[in-house]
Chains A and B, each alone.
Chain A
Amino acid sequence: MTKRKSFRRPQIQKLEPLLYGEDLSAPEWRNYIEVLATKLELNDYDWMNYKLFADVSTKEYGELKIEFAYFGAYFCEMKVENENVMYSFDFATQIFQEHIVRYIQKHMKSWGETYTFNGAEEVIDFYNDVLTSPYTVEKSRQVIRRRKH
């Protein structure tokens, strides 16, 4: 009897930790991976609303848009978006605190140097810590655009 091909819905990739340097690739519009796009927003206007945005180009997942957010609650949110999928995670605030402080300290140090600030390594560490933490919960994994087979 021939086996029938099952039309199962294609599995959405699970996010794994990234190795800085190896797993990253040069974005199409830039010649080097050293400088990556990051943005920090510390909004204390009405309520604490701290966000860290980053655009990271990877070999495995393509160009990832990562957003870490803290809103004064007991958990933080990480959203990762690539061309096809949007992932959403909840993680512990201690991780956010630790990495935001490191990021800011690195930023302040760069003021005295000639090279532009590059927060990429810190962002990758942050991302990896969130994914590997036992307290992190993956809230959702949504397909936003169907990948063509």
Chain B
Amino acid sequence: MKRRKYRKYALKDNTVFEPIVYDKLSFNLRNELDLFATTVELDDYDWMSYKLKAWLPTKAYGDIVIDFVYNGTSPCTMIIETKKKKYRFYFAIELFQEHIIKFLQKHIKHWDSKYAFSGTEEAVNFYNAVITHPKTESEDIETITREEALKRMAARRQKDMPQE
């Protein structure tokens, strides 16, 4: 029987989100306007629904979209969407409150300045605060450990083995 060759460490997804330093070196800047894409939504229609979304062309994770959402209930969620996957984090309301206020204050200030508003630095700080906070929980993250990878390979091998 021919034995199928498996890669020794066949991890599909080994993404670990680390803090990003807000610096030109951390991003793939194709043009001047690349670090300006943010949207804020403060919806008080029926129920509080506050969202902050930022598009970041990072070098570490590719072009990602970070979505911070507060629905009036604890906890808040941060969804990071990379090219291939979505990751969800749960974090405390206080973090959201602190950073949304900083973001909005910066937004207000820019009205009087000549330059266009760029909220991405605040969004990156927010992201860093969430992933480094001890109480942040994550879901859908597949940081597969070596043991788990071997287990999965073994399970696959067993499934593929022809029945004798």
Contacts and interface: CB of A to CB of B under 8 A. Distances in A.
Contacts of A73: none
Contact of A39 (B43, B104, B111): B43
Interface residues of B, number: 24
A42 B116 contact: no
B16 interface: no
Q: Classify chain A: how many residues form its interface, as a range.
A: 20 to 34
Chain B interface main SS type: mixed
B89 interface: no
Given A108-B104, A119-B44, A45 B111 contact: no
A101 B108 CA distance: 6
Contacts of A38: 44-45
Given A45-B39, A45-B55, A55-B45, 12 more contacts: A38-B45, A39-B45, A40-B40, A40-B43, A41-B40, A41-B41, A42-B107, A45-B37, A105-B108, A108-B104, A116-B48, A119-B44
Contact of B119 (A44, A97, A111, A118): A44
A118 B48 CA distance: 11
B37 A107 contact: no
Interface of A: 37-46, 48, 55, 97, 101, 104-105, 107-108, 111, 116-119
B111 A97 contact: yes
Interface in B83-110: 97, 101, 104-105, 107-108
Nearest to B41: A41
6 contacts: A39-B41, A39-B43, A40-B43, A101-B108, A108-B101, A119-B44
Interface in B52-94: 55
A55 B114 CA distance: 33
A5 B135 CA distance: 76
A103 B90 CA distance: 28
B37 A37 contact: no
A53 to B, nearest CB: 8
B46 interface: yes
Nearest to B38: A44
Nearest to A103: B42
A44 B35 CA distance: 10
B42 A39 contact: yes
A38 B39 CA distance: 17
Interface string B24-50: 000000000000111111111110100
A44 B101 CA distance: 17
Contacts of B37: 44-46
Contact of A111 (B45, B101, B107): B101
Given A44-B39, A97-B111, A101-B111, A107 B45 contact: no
A117 B38 CA distance: 23
